[in-house]
Amino acid sequence: MPISANDTKRKSWVEVPENSDFPIQNIPFGVFLTKEYVVTVGTRIGDSAIDLGALQQLNYFEGIELTDDMFMQDTLNDFISDGKKTWRLVRNRIAEIFDKNNPKLRDNAKHRDIVIFKMDEVEMQLPVLIGDYTDFYSSKEHATNVGKMFRDPENALLPNWLHIPVGYHGRSSTIIPSGIPVHRPIGQTLPAGENTPVFGPSRLIDFELETAFITTDANVMGEMIPINEAEDYIFGMVLLNDWSARDIQKWEYVPLGPFLAKSFASSISPWIVTMDALEPFRVASPKQDPSPLPYLQQKGKHSFDIHLEVAIQPENEKPTVIGNSNFKYMYWTMSQQLTHHTSNGCRVNSGDMMGSGTISGPTPNSYGSMLELTWGGKNPIKLNDGTERKFINDNDTVIMKGFCQNGQVRLGFGEVSSKLLPPFVRK
């Protein structure tokens, strides 16, 4: 089944601004609330939000096997459950419907009124009900930087790191879409030189520049997804800001790992960009040495060239871009992560989310966290408004963007943007 939606010559009759992340070659999936308070599954072209529920009711998906209310839902989980063949049929069909040479919807003003909204008229929701959220730790540069700062600079990587895509379970209940502000968490920290912890607002709030992938139902309990099948179970990707409280983390994380330092919030971009859309940007991942164990060995190219950037926007100021990275730096691939995750028989469901871990590149300006960019606060970053940051201040907004570009097309994720508010006050 060809991915006709990827045809780089195709233009849409829907206007697409220059350098938009959402040309007709993207066709991401999300969930939005319209101004009439209807929740629907949708896609986006340019700055237009497209109601797929309405399109289905108007019979534009005729011939594709879908349940009647597939898109009139408040999550994508059921659609994702339908599997790769259906995703591709639907995405290809959407490309046809919005092709500038197709008059069917283009010339039907009544239908267009029902189907198409301006992006600023809709409110993006979480695209999936996330049953389980896992976060990996798969950037060698990030793991090395953290190891140098907190452990032994000569042996920065732990012994298991080059053999295992190390990961841990995260908290699903506090995953929120772009735009929702986050309160500075309160927690236990151990002041330097003391033996007794104190309880109060975290002083070291950090972002982590990550991507995440969303899975479909992958296996029954007990079953491992073989490495050569793993990509078939990945629906698409989002940007992820894995908010972190470094001082809480330092005190709590031994021996069971990060807990409250992470679980106060994780922000994601609202549009899931499909693996089909990302296919033209496939690149090789870094060479793995030593070679991983056979169940994790794969041939060919399994990473993607996705430019990533992060900016800090102080209250009433313009954003300053403070870091640029790229998904292609990841040492472990998404397929290796998914195969490893299921190697013990762990069941993976539709809508599960798996984070990459902080994506740091090889140079200091490509690091993916304030911890690394300021090297533990030693080298503050100057913003365009003249102020400095070691970590994130109250009322700062952290903005992450991600896009792919080649000679023919540019497409991307939009952004995940979230403001850090002062600690919550109970009313």
Q: Which of 111, 142, 302, 340 is catalytic?
A: 142
d(CA 236, CA 211): 10
Measured from the CB atom, the residue of 52 and 354 that comes closer to its own copies is: 354
User: Which residue from 169, 203, 301, 318 is in contact with its own copies, where contact means CB under 8 A?
Assistant: 169
Q: Is 367 annotated as a binding residue?
A: no
196 near its own copies, judged by CB under 8 A: yes
258 near its own copies, judged by CB under 8 A: yes
Q: Is 417 annotated as a binding residue?
A: no
Q: Is 78 annotated as a binding residue?
A: no
Q: Is 358 annotated as a binding residue?
A: yes
283 near its own copies, judged by CB under 8 A: no
Measured from the CB atom, the residue of 28 and 170 that comes closer to its own copies is: 170
User: Which residue from 86, 343, 387, 395 is in contact with its own copies, where contact means CB under 8 A?
Assistant: 343
In the three-class reduction of DSSP (H, G, I as helix; E, B as strand; rest coil), residue 89 is classed as: helix
199 near its own copies, judged by CB under 8 A: yes
260 near its own copies, judged by CB under 8 A: yes
d(CA 185, CA 421): 9
- Residue spans of beta strands (DSSP E) within 121-253: 123-124, 133-136, 167-169, 175-177, 182-183, 186-189, 198-201, 205-206, 209-215, 234-241, 244-245
d(CA 95, CA 314): 39
Q: Is 141 annotated as a binding residue?
A: no
User: Which residue from 86, 253, 305, 384 is in contact with its own copies, where contact means CB under 8 A?
Assistant: 253
306 near its own copies, judged by CB under 8 A: no
Cβ(134)–Cβ(210) under 8 Å?
no
Tokens 């080059």 belong to 162
| Single-letter amino acid code for the residue at 347 | R
C-alpha torsion sign, points 74, 134, 216, 162: positive
d(CA 158, CA 147): 8
381 near its own copies, judged by CB under 8 A: no
What separation in angstroms does the CA of 252 have from each of 207, 261, 282?
18, 8, 39
Least distance in Å: CB of 329 to its own copies?
Answer: 20
d(CA 148, CA 363): 15
Q: Which stretch binds its own copies (CB under 8 A): 255-263, 280-288, 324-332, 384-392?
A: 255-263
Cβ(394)–Cβ(419) under 8 Å?
no
Measured from the CB atom, the residue of 245 and 383 that comes closer to its own copies is: 245
Per-residue DSSP letter, 288 = P
1 near its own copies, judged by CB under 8 A: no
Closest of 204, 231, 188 to residue 83, by C-alpha: 231
Element (H, E) at 210: strand 209-215
User: Which residue from 1, 109, 192, 256 is in contact with its own copies, where contact means CB under 8 A?
Assistant: 256
Measured from the CB atom, the residue of 211 and 342 that comes closer to its own copies is: 342
156 near its own copies, judged by CB under 8 A: no
263 near its own copies, judged by CB under 8 A: yes
Closest of 328, 317, 184, 163 to residue 244, by C-alpha: 184
Cβ(388)–Cβ(166) under 8 Å?
no
142 as an active site residue: the answer is: yes
The Cβ of residue 34 has, within 10 Å, a number of other Cβ atoms equal to 17
Q: Is 262 annotated as a binding residue?
A: yes
H helices of 98-151, in order, are 103-106, 109-115, 140-150
User: Which residue from 10, 44, 88, 341 is in contact with its own copies, where contact means CB under 8 A?
Assistant: 341
In the three-class reduction of DSSP (H, G, I as helix; E, B as strand; rest coil), residue 182 is classed as: strand
186 near its own copies, judged by CB under 8 A: yes
264 near its own copies, judged by CB under 8 A: yes
Which residues are at the interface with its own copies (CB under 8 A)? 131-132, 137, 158-160, 163-164, 166-174, 176, 183, 185-188, 190, 195-199, 221-224, 245, 248, 251-261, 263-265, 290, 293-295, 340-341, 343-349, 352, 423-424, 426
Binding-site sequence positions for Ca(2+): 135, 208, 210, 242
Binding-site sequence positions for substrate: 137, 151, 249, 253, 358
Which residues carry out catalysis? 142
